[in-house]
Amino acid sequence: MADPHAGAPEPPRTITRGTAVTDAPENLDSTTAPRTRRQARLSDGYSNTSRSITEVTSSVDSSGRVTTRDIWRMIDGLKETIAYQTELIQSTKDELLEVKHDQNVLQTQNEKLHEEVRALRAQIDALPPSPVAKSWAA
């Protein structure tokens, strides 16, 4: 069988850290490198900030290296993510404290209602038995 590329020079292969080996001519049309499994996992469960971080990590200059500017963008994105998560944690703590307070109030009300039910039962038990009503028909 004849090789379809016989006689033609093979295109140079490029290797980017964290990605598979790819043929250079196939990547000329795309502006971003393929996402690695880790980048996909990180961006799947988080906000748009995380997605923008993975996009920045995919942008490399023509030599295949990440620039200082890209690193600063990633750092800024991470700071935004940390600030958002810190705010989310604090609001969750506040809500939890409110729920615990409401739970304590409900427990106190429940105890008072149980005491009131016991007192009413004691009053009912203390009542003299009611006489049997006689009917006129008998």
Q: What is the pLDDT of residue 52?
A: 53
Tens-digit pLDDT profile for residues 42-90? 444 455 555 555 554 455 556 788 899 999 999 999 999 999 999 999 9
Band (104; pLDDT cuts 50, 70, 90): very high
Contact 118, 110 (CB under 8 A): no
Q: Are 14 and 64 in contact (CB under 8 A)?
A: yes
HEC per residue, 80-119: HHHHHHHHHHHHHHHHHHHHHHHHHHHHHHHHHHHHHHHH
**C-alpha 78 chain-centroid distance:** 15
**Residue 13 has what pLDDT?**
52
Q: Is the pLDDT of residue 100 over 80?
A: yes
Averaged over 21-42, what is the pLDDT? 46
Share of the chain above pLDDT 90, in %: 43
Q: CA 42 to CA 35: how far, in whole Å?
A: 11
Q: Residue 30: phi, psi to the nearest 5?
A: -90, 150
